[in-house]
Chains A and B, each alone.
Chain A
Amino acid sequence: MNHPTDASGSEKVAPTPGAAPTARLETFTYNDAIVRMFLTATLLWALVAMSVGLFIALQLAFPRLSFGLPFLTFGRLRPLHTNAAIFAFAGNAVFAAIYYSTQRLLKARMWSDMLGQLHFWGWQLIIVLAALTLPAGVTQSKEYAELEWPIDLLIAVVWVAFFGVNFFMTLKTRRERHMYVAIWFYIATIITVAVLHVFNNLVVPAGLFKSYSIYAGVQDAFMQWWYGHNAVAFFLTTPFLGMMYYFVPKAADRPVFSYRLSIVHFWSLVFIYIWAGPHHLHYTALPEWASTLGMIFSVMLWMPSWGGGINGLLTLRGAWHKVTSDPVLKFFVVGITFYMMATFEGPMMSVKSVNALSHYTDWTIGHVHAGALGWNGFMTFGMMYFLLPRLFQTKLYSQKLAEWHFWLGTIGILLYIVAMYIAGLTQGLMWRALDENGRLMYPDFVETVTRIIPYYWMRAIGGGMYLTGVGIAAFNFAMTWKSRPATYTETEHQAAPLSDDDFTPEVRPESQLQGVAEIGKKLDVWSTMWWHRKWERLPLRFTVWTTIAVIVASLFEIVPTFLIRSNVPTIASVKPYTPLELAGRDIYVSEGCYNCHSQMIRPILAETKRYGDYSKPGEFVYDHPFQWGSRRIGPDLAREGGKQSHLWHLLHFQDPPQVTPNSIMPNYGWFERKKLDFASIPVRLRAAHYLGAPYDDAVLNDPISVARAQAKQIADELRQQAGGGDPRRVPDNAPPTFQHDVALEDTQVIALIAYLQRLGTDIYKQPDAKPAAPQPTPTPTPVAAASADNSAKGAQ
């Protein structure tokens, strides 16, 4: 048995119990080099992910921090932060844990060193590509699935062909007959993530850097949150539970509390988790039955989640005195505690009436950071401090610095989540507050933003502390690495290969019950779970049942969502986007506007008072991908069409505070300077047409001319609204003869205005109305507009 502070060199492996003590013992070593690589990458990406997180957190408190540069805006950097935190930081941590523990639990070296290398470098390449493409605005705009299709293909190859094959082949060549609970969780992870990734990322490519989801509107939203929620389940929960089941008993040197609890909570977790996705879409245009399933399965998920937590914490019985002195256990205890907190909070937030308040607010942000920083982060750092002496075969450089890391991290998380809880509740309550006469108490949205700015500062301080802790860990890591031996000792282990000769199958126990019907006895025998022991030595059967659990549950929700027509009643007046609007929408997607603006008005009184009639499922049938969003840092835009003048939008993009004082939106000054890529419109339109948008032949044959005509019309209207002149900003030191490089009708802002003016307007049109440009209703009182000399200038 290991003592937690022993270096790995001292490990001794007993021959398999029950194995005949023959000379058939095989000698093997473990591949720890690959674990060292993954662990190093974990820490490096942690620094990157959290630095980006801190930067965008500061942008909310201090919007000028985007410096007017496209690649520094919140909308583009937030996906980089989430992807780096999930796939780079947590992902590499998961791989380190799996490569280290699997070999030891199965008494087998990873099947292929080469596949391990391909897996490692392939994954890092994916992350680097993410870091290059996301700030460039290349995105599918589905949360945590933003990466475009070529990178998605790479992910599928690396995950399945390199990682999956290597893992399952190691399982096949194992020398330990039964699979420990950690391995069950790894199997569930590998299978389910592959399924989720493939089915959420089915797209129609339109070039190397752009694609359209094959699903539209309601169905796209459903698939996305089936994926998004289960990314939390099978990327951030199951592998970390596996990590916990290996490293906690190892570090505490105590037996796992309950084998039977492991079985019960594993299967209930895997089966129930997969249903819960629709709780991200309460009160949206998603059919109500799906929303209900999402809620009730989330409630049922509470105990299966806690099963892991209590099995972890109760394993520490008799080892609590070690917790006070060992940073490894400290990290684990706090990590598991945050897991239990977050998995209680999750079911609570999934209750519809709670969600009506919490959704779109910072409460969700607080919740996910309790999970990510508390559970994923602290489990990872606990594992890291456990592994450092073993992998680098030396002493940890400084126990004291590890203590500092622990306390900075713990206080940092608490500051962070408390700030977000206050901000979320404050904003949620302000949005819904009605006065005694039934009117909105805070009708001006920006008022609900300025109120929470102090908490953004508090959050930034908490996050900064956490990041400082990680910086200290990186230093500790580097110093430990420096004192490594010149060459690592590779300990040799011995075990017999599995053979049918030297093993006795499980015996079905007899029921001790007296005077009970046969079925009762059968149930009694079944509940002893003797059969599960059998499954544990049959990896194929185990994997198949895990896959069935996950897929059957998914199909129960997916099939009705796609097949029942009444889920998305069609609205005759809803027409496809015009070519120009489509181009504008693609800019909206590319800029990541969905990171701050929802397009989904819920049937809640305070909400329809603020934004207009609630959104209907039939309004989104041409939305590939959907843009419902999940957070309202800015107001909802589902009925933005016709709400503001073109001129207002132009001035707003130029510099939001000039029309909305105290706005924290970054400025998008380049929209009115950059040329719209008209040449790319035909391929966009063909993709939309291929996905079912009906267009006239006239539009299909010459979409560019159609787009240009609409652009001309909007530009003309803009000039009229501006009193005749070009409303764009003139540089400060421009000569009097200054001319803009790009004509107003050729700029990106025109396409964006076309799209925004269309949003949510179709249901008010006559079914036969043409889907052309947004036609302003003719003014019934044609008063000659007094020449408002450049009103744009006036507004500046």
Chain B
Amino acid sequence: MSDKKYKDILTGHNYDGIQEYDNPTPGWWWLVFHCCIAFAVCYFVFFHISIYGWTRDEAYSAEVKRNFDKQFAALGQLEVNGETIARFLNEPQWLDVGRTVFQTNCISCHGKQGEGLVGPNMTDDRYKNIKQIGDFGTVISNGAAKGAMPAWKTRLSPNEIVLVASYVASLRGQNLSGPRPPEGDVPPPWPVPDKPADAETPAKPDAPK
């Protein structure tokens, strides 16, 4: 700021020795201030008065739909049952989706690898509430053990429930060691999926007992 820009004429005010110049408010200050006001007015009119704006909820719903399509376009809406759960046992790409659901919601009780913590070990052969593969869907949806296992049907979509169920089912036989003793009975082996998977197996090779 060169001093020449402002005339620096004193107003004649004097307060305890403090004087004031009669300089104008800088032009750029007014310009930016007016631009901000114009932006404010336009923003309000666009989003709250005009027919072109959209609401927060509309934007969110569109995003949810895009995300669903991105994740599940190939699957459509799944039904939670044993057959569907078994279908994904050999599909690593979908088991990986299930793994994310597990990492988001389940590891605080079942451990990061499913080895058990407050909740039972999911990697051994024994299950407390599972007699057949379809039971994974029911237990995850509705909870079990008097609320020790929470109900997830209000939090997860059916697709997510199916995929996390498949993921958990796929952990069977890894026999990771966890803090809890083995619990429950040994159900019969899971049915082989209708659609045989590729050569690779989704789960890591078992550690021999």
Measured CB to CB, the closest approach of chain B to A583, in angstroms, equals 20
From B104, B144, B150, B151, give the contact of A440 (CB < 8 A): B104
Within 8 Å CB of B97, what residues of A? 437, 439
Q: Is the CB of A643 within 8 A of B144?
A: no
Q: Is the CB of B142 within 8 A of A788?
A: no
Q: Does B209 contact A (CB under 8 A)?
A: no
Q: Is the CB of B26 within 8 A of A310?
A: yes
Complex: how many Å from CA A440 to CA B26?
49
Q: Is the CB of B118 within 8 A of A795?
A: yes
Binding stretch for chain A, among B40-48, B81-89, B167-175, B192-200: B40-48
Complex: how many Å from CA A310 to CA B130?
71
Complex: how many Å from CA A646 to CA B180?
18
From A255, A289, A439, give the contact of B100 (CB < 8 A): A439
Q: What number of A-B contacts does a CB cutoff of 8 Å give?
A: 241
Q: Is the CB of B20 within 8 A of A256?
A: yes
Measured CB to CB, the closest approach of chain A to B107, in angstroms, equals 6
| Contacts known (A310-B29, A443-B100, A645-B118); A779 close to B142, Cβ less than 8 A | yes
Q: Is the CB of A648 within 8 A of B108?
A: yes
Complex: how many Å from CA A759 to CA B107?
21
Q: Is the CB of B36 within 8 A of A303?
A: yes
Complex: how many Å from CA A297 to CA B120?
54
Q: Is the CB of B57 within 8 A of A603?
A: yes
Within 8 Å CB of A487, what residues of B? none
Complex: how many Å from CA A300 to CA B33?
7
Q: Is the CB of A289 within 8 A of B24?
A: no
Binding stretch for chain B, among A258-266, A685-693, A694-702: A258-266
Q: Is the CB of A288 within 8 A of B16?
A: no
Q: Is the CB of A289 within 8 A of B21?
A: no
From B10, B71, B142, B180, give the contact of A780 (CB < 8 A): B142
Within 8 Å CB of B37, what residues of A? 300
From A347, A614, A642, A720, give the contact of B146 (CB < 8 A): A720
Q: Is the CB of A304 within 8 A of B60?
A: no
From B19, B25, B128, give the contact of A307 (CB < 8 A): B25
A 653-673 contacts with B by CB, 8 A: 659-661
Binding stretch for chain B, among A200-208, A504-512, A560-568, A605-613: A605-613
Within 8 Å CB of A515, what residues of B? none
B 7-49 contacts with A by CB, 8 A: 8, 10-26, 29, 32-33, 36-37, 39-41, 43-44, 47-48
Within 8 Å CB of A661, what residues of B? 112
Interface code B120-149, partner A: CB below 8 Å = 1, 0 otherwise? 100000001111000100110011111111
Measured CB to CB, the closest approach of chain A to B46, in angstroms, equals 10
> Whose C-beta in chain A lies nearest to the C-beta of B126?
A786
Q: Does A283 contact B (CB under 8 A)?
A: yes
Complex: how many Å from CA A249 to CA B10?
14
Q: Is the CB of A443 within 8 A of B104?
A: yes
Q: Is the CB of A781 within 8 A of B148?
A: no
Q: Chain A contact residues (Cβ within 8 angstroms of B): what range?
A: 35 or more
| Contacts known (A259-B13, A785-B128); A776 close to B64, Cβ less than 8 A | no
Within 8 Å CB of A605, what residues of B? 60, 63-64, 67
Complex: how many Å from CA A781 to CA B135?
8
Q: Does B188 contact A (CB under 8 A)?
A: no
Q: Does B191 contact A (CB under 8 A)?
A: no
Q: Does B78 contact A (CB under 8 A)?
A: no
Within 8 Å CB of B44, what residues of A? 292-293, 296
Complex: how many Å from CA A558 to CA B17?
43
Q: Is the CB of B179 within 8 A of A794?
A: yes
Q: Does B1 contact A (CB under 8 A)?
A: yes
Q: Which of A318, A610, A786 has the most CB of B within 10 A?
A: A786
Q: Is the CB of B39 within 8 A of A299?
A: yes
Within 8 Å CB of A796, what residues of B? 179
Q: Is the CB of B18 within 8 A of A264?
A: no
Within 8 Å CB of A642, what residues of B? 143, 147, 150-151
| Contacts known (A296-B40, A786-B183); A776 close to B18, Cβ less than 8 A | no
A 745-796 contacts with B by CB, 8 A: 764, 774, 776-781, 783, 785-786, 788-789, 791, 794-796
| Contacts known (A255-B19, A283-B56); A639 close to B155, Cβ less than 8 A | yes
From B26, B55, B71, give the contact of A437 (CB < 8 A): B71
Q: Is the CB of A292 within 8 A of B25?
A: no
Q: Does A735 contact B (CB under 8 A)?
A: no
Q: Which of A288, A645, A720, A796 has the most CB of B within 10 A?
A: A645
Q: Is the CB of A302 within 8 A of B32?
A: yes
Q: Is the CB of B55 within 8 A of A246?
A: no
Q: Is the CB of A296 within 8 A of B15?
A: no
Q: Does B204 contact A (CB under 8 A)?
A: no
| Contacts known (A17-B14, A317-B3); A645 close to B21, Cβ less than 8 A | no
Complex: how many Å from CA A648 to CA B147?
11
Within 8 Å CB of A785, what residues of B? 128-129, 145
Q: Does A485 contact B (CB under 8 A)?
A: no
Complex: how many Å from CA A288 to CA B154?
26
10 pairs from A and B in contact (CB 8 Å cutoff)? A250-B16, A256-B21, A288-B48, A603-B59, A644-B150, A645-B145, A647-B118, A659-B117, A794-B180, A795-B180
Nearest 8 CB-CB pairings of A with B: A776-B147, A296-B40, A443-B104, A303-B33, A255-B19, A603-B60, A259-B20, A443-B103
Instruction: A292-B44, A644-B109, A777-B143 are known; give 18 further A-B pairs, CB within 8 A.
Output: A14-B14, A104-B16, A256-B20, A259-B21, A262-B20, A288-B55, A292-B48, A300-B33, A303-B33, A307-B29, A318-B3, A437-B96, A614-B60, A648-B108, A659-B117, A660-B108, A717-B147, A795-B179
Q: B interface vs A, CB < 8 Å?
A: 1, 3, 6, 8, 10-26, 29, 32-33, 36-37, 39-41, 43-44, 47-48, 55-57, 59-60, 63-64, 67, 70-71, 96-97, 100-101, 103-105, 107-109, 112, 116-120, 128-131, 135, 138-139, 142-151, 154-155, 179-181, 183-185
Q: A interface vs B, CB < 8 Å?
A: 1-2, 13-14, 17, 101, 104-105, 107, 176, 178, 180, 246, 249-250, 255-262, 264, 268, 283, 288-289, 292-293, 295-297, 299-300, 302-304, 306-307, 310, 314, 317-318, 347, 434, 437-440, 443-444, 603-605, 608-610, 612-614, 639, 642-648, 651, 659-661, 717, 720-721, 764, 774, 776-781, 783, 785-786, 788-789, 791, 794-796
